Amino acid sequence: MPGQGGEPFGSIEDILSYLSSIETTVESEVERIANSLDAVTDRISASLRSAIGDSTWFPDTKPPPPPPSPAITRPVGYLEASSSWISRHRAITAAVVCFLGTGAFLIWRQRRAGRVKRRAKRAKNGQRTEIAVLAGPPSAPLTRSLSLDLERRGFVVYIPVNSLWEERLIQAESKADVHPLHLDVTSPSSLSSTIRKFTALLDPSNAPKYPLHLASFILLPQTPSPPSPQSISDLSADSWSDALTTHLLSPFTLLQAFLPLISSHKASILFLTPTNTPSLSPPSHGIENVIAGGMERYISTLRKEMSSPQTTNIVQFKLGAFDDASDRDAFKMAVALRHDKNTSDGSPDAVSPSTTEPSKVRGTPLRELHLAVFDAIVGKRRGTIYVGRGSRMYHSLGKFAPEGLVAWMLGLKTRREEKQKREGDEEK
Q: Give percent of the chain above pLDDT 90.
A: 8
Taking residues 362-371, report their average pLDDT: 84
Contact 258, 366 (CB under 8 A): no
pLDDT at 159: 92
- Categorise residue 269: left if φ over 0, alpha if ψ from -120 to 50, beta otherwise: beta
Residue 330's identity, in one-letter code, is A
What is the Cα–Cα distance from 295 to 92, expressed in whole angstroms? 45
Residue 194 buriedness (CB in 10 A; 0-12 / 13-18 / 19+): middle
Question: Exposure string (b/e) for 104-135, b if CB count within 10 Å is 16 or more?
Answer: eeeeeeeeeeeeeebebeeeeeeebbbbbbbb
Task: State yes or no: pLDDT of 401 exceeds 90.
Answer: no
Of residues 168 and 82, more confidence is placed in 168
Taking residues 249-259, report their average pLDDT: 90
Question: Exposure string (b/e) for 218-256, b if CB count within 10 Å is 16 or more?
Answer: bbbbbbbeeeeeeeeeeeeeeeeeebbebbbebbbebbe
For residue 181, the cross-strand partners are 160
Using DSSP's 3-state secondary structure scheme, residue 236 falls into coil
In this predicted model, what pLDDT tens digit does every residue of 198-224 receive, in sequence order? Answer: 888 888 777 667 788 899 999 988 776
Task: State yes or no: pLDDT of 158 exceeds 90.
Answer: yes
Chain Cα centroid distance, residue 236: 40
Using DSSP's 3-state secondary structure scheme, residue 282 falls into coil
What is the Cα–Cα distance from 70 to 288, expressed in whole angstroms? 75
